[in-house]
Amino acid sequence: MKVKFWGVRGSIPVPGPKTVRYGGNTTCIEVRTSDNHLIILDAGTGIYPLSMSLFPEFPMETHIFNTHTHWDHIHGLPFFIPLFVPGNEVHIYGAFDPIGGRPIDDILTTQLQYRHFPVREVELKAKVDFRTLKESESVQIGAATITPVMMNHPVINFGYRIDDHGKSMFFTGDHEAPYNIYAPEDDEYAIYEEILEKRNQHIRDAIAGVDLLIVDSAYTEMEYPQKKGWGHGTLDRGIRLGEEIGAAMICLTHHEPTRSDDDLEKVFAEALDRRKPLENEPNIILACEGLTLQL
């Protein structure tokens, strides 16, 4: 299984001289299974340069798994070139929206309205279909099994575990470690703490032992109190989650868009200095555009 990063920033694309090394595109990850099926995790602006690399493979079949429908994870989708080419097949997977009461089909249906985009959905030349997933409902694509896991974000957010011939990876999408909404002196605090621990243990069990954990690590510990409830993690907590579940490699992503490459490296080094060494040390890295990992 091969993993390549095409977009690693959060919230908004930030191309420019201060983001050249790690890239300014928003979330998009290419996964090639052991039998070369193409899986794409999220359709941020990074999906456009990814699509430019696919011409030699046309006609082709693509599987896009959406973690959630916030703009930075979908706004590259209308520019995904295979959608416009006859003979291609594009399968899009994601969660049901309980607030709007809409299935995953609503992504393109909404984006490809004339008030948002000049091309209508009916004008797409590829064969496009949608599948609305439930938590733990696995999908088989060639040799790979893809399993959605509910994470913690202001909207429904699926992280995805991919298992392929004894190798495994997990991408959190956007995730903030669940926290207790009650003060320690409140009667409800202990009860809610038990609920949180069960939820956290469910996540840890679902992703235990993966070879690669790709984790939302947008903020520093100092920044987090002002961002609490926004649905994103910190570098320290992303590293800690990887250590807790025994990941062989921890890759930090969804980089804060206001942070330059130099500042990103600085806060990353500080987070590494704060952690305690382990007997079996994981490989801890920052995601950057173009980074390719072979599992």
User: What does pTM read for this prediction?
Assistant: 0.96
Helix (H, G, I), strand (E, B) or coil at 63: strand
Cβ-defined contacts of 260-263 (< 8 Å, 24+):
260/18, 260/19, 261/18, 261/19, 261/20, 261/21, 261/22, 262/18
166-190, pLDDT tens digit by residue? Answer: 999 999 999 999 888 888 889 889 9
Q: Taking the CA of residue 288 as centre, how many other CA atoms within 13 Å lie in the half-sphere pointing to its CB?
A: 12
When pLDDT is averaged across residues 43-72 and rounded to a whole number, the result is 97
**Residue pair 31/162 in contact by the 8 Å Cβ criterion:** yes
- Range of the structural domain that residue 88 is part of: 2-294
Element (H, E) at 279: none
* Bridge partners, 89 (sequence order): 61, 127
**Residue pair 71/116 in contact by the 8 Å Cβ criterion:** no
When pLDDT is averaged across residues 39-45 and rounded to a whole number, the result is 98
* Res. 24 pLDDT band, cuts 50 70 90: very high
> What proportions of the chain, in percent to the nearest 5, are helix, strand and coil?
25, 25, 45
183-214, pLDDT tens digit by residue? Answer: 888 988 999 889 989 999 999 999 999 999 99
**Token reading at 260:** 């330059």
**Residue pair 169/162 in contact by the 8 Å Cβ criterion:** yes
64-106, pLDDT tens digit by residue? Answer: 999 999 999 999 999 999 999 999 999 999 998 877 778 898 8
Tell me, what's the pLDDT at 100?
75
| Portion of the chain with pLDDT greater than 70, in percent | 100
Give the CATH number for residue 263.
3.60.15.10
pLDDT at 110 over 90: no
Tell me, what's the pLDDT at 97?
82
Tell me, what's the pLDDT at 181?
87
Between helix 261-274 and helix 235-244 the angle, nearest 10°, is 50
Neighbours of 260 (CB within 10 A): 18
Q: How far is 22 from 201, CA to CA, in rounded Å?
A: 32
Number of domains in the chain: 1
When pLDDT is averaged across residues 276-295 and rounded to a whole number, the result is 96
129 versus 110: which is more confidently predicted? 129
Look up tokens 């621990």; give the residue. 197
**Residue pair 216/200 in contact by the 8 Å Cβ criterion:** no
* Residue 227: C-alpha distances to residues 8, 219, 233, 266 (Å): 19, 8, 10, 20
Tell me, what's the pLDDT at 164?
98
- Please work out, in degrees rounded to the nearest 5, the angle formed at the alpha carbon of residue 138 by the alpha carbons of 132 and 143: 120
